[in-house]
Structure 1
């Protein structure tokens, strides 16, 4: 059977497209400490790729006496402030690959658990038309690791999951993308993605092209060995 053609690439944002995880961590510690608590690097790593509402509840358990929405707004404001000062901190090769996909006529979507206002800020700072669709944390019917955000992106793009490749950096994000039925590339950053189901693992996006992404898609849907 001929495998479906690659129609779209679905990008995670934090840690995959842009290296904003340190910004989140820098916002988390003073939040917890302002309520007399402590926050470790290990606790911060455990939140990578988790939906913001779930993360906010963990902060409440750590002693932050604020509502879920207030916690999300405070952290988002802090990260957006850092972005306004530094610009878009693209991961190596991410901008080039994204631009190459656009030039090749492949649709692109941003699928992030960050709030839409932050996702829109990042997209607006990119110096070309980067995405056809944005699915943010406040758009998702259920957060990652549920497949909903990726399925919503496919619906909005008018494609099936079998026509897509998703790119993710975290176990929660990978599980979400794999469950959606997409071919999935893992590009680890701060946490191990071993056992999370990536169909291909790339140490970096640097030097990667649209043809490389298409090769992963073809290999996966032809039931061949993953492309490494």
Structure 2
């Protein structure tokens, strides 16, 4: 059996390259308070992996909010970007830098696919000094 050579590797950003869940959790706890909604930590945990659009749709419905979902989602996205620009505690997942360096050294192309916006991806990759590893980036 012939073993095929790996030519490229595609990574997800949040939770794979970057340990971002605690940061998003903290941001969302603030936003729940800002919009005066009561979301328990257990309910919040159940939203992990859900889009912010779907998360806010459920929260708006469950809390009978009068605010428009698009307005809340836009506020959420803008708040995340501003917070990430100022954040100093964001970190790579263990051994990611070494893996990226190894793939680059072997000439394997590296891509990134994320549901995050291009602007947020660029902020995070530049902040963590790993932007130059990626030949292709696809954003949500």
Cα distance in 2 for residues equivalent to 1:3 and 1:65 = 58
Structure 1 residue 130: Cα displacement: 1.9
Cα distance in 1 for residues equivalent to 2:82 and 2:24 = 11
SS in 1 for 2:87: helix
Alignment of 1:36-115 (within 5 A): 36-63=36-63, 64-83=65-84, 84-86=86-88, 88-115=90-117
Which of 128, 131, 135 aligns to 1:132? It is 135
CA contact (8 A) 1:18 1:88 kept: yes
Structure 1 residue 86: Cα displacement: 0.7
Q: TM-score scaled by structure 1?
A: 0.52
SS in 2 for 1:15: coil
Alignment of 1:1-228 (within 5 A): 1-63=1-63, 64-83=65-84, 84-86=86-88, 88-128=90-130, 129-137=132-140
Deviates more, 1:52-61 or 1:37-46: 52-61
Cα distance in 1 for residues equivalent to 2:71 and 2:108 = 38
Cα distance in 2 for residues equivalent to 1:95 and 1:65 = 45
The change in CA–CA distance for 1:109 and 1:70 in structure 2 (over 3 A counts) is farther
How many corresponding residue pairs? Answer: 137
SS in 1 for 2:38: coil
CA contact (8 A) 1:24 1:75 kept: no
* Relative contact order higher in (CA < 8 Å, ≥ 6 apart): 2
| Aligned-residue CA RMSD (Å) | 2.3
Moved over 6 A (4+): none
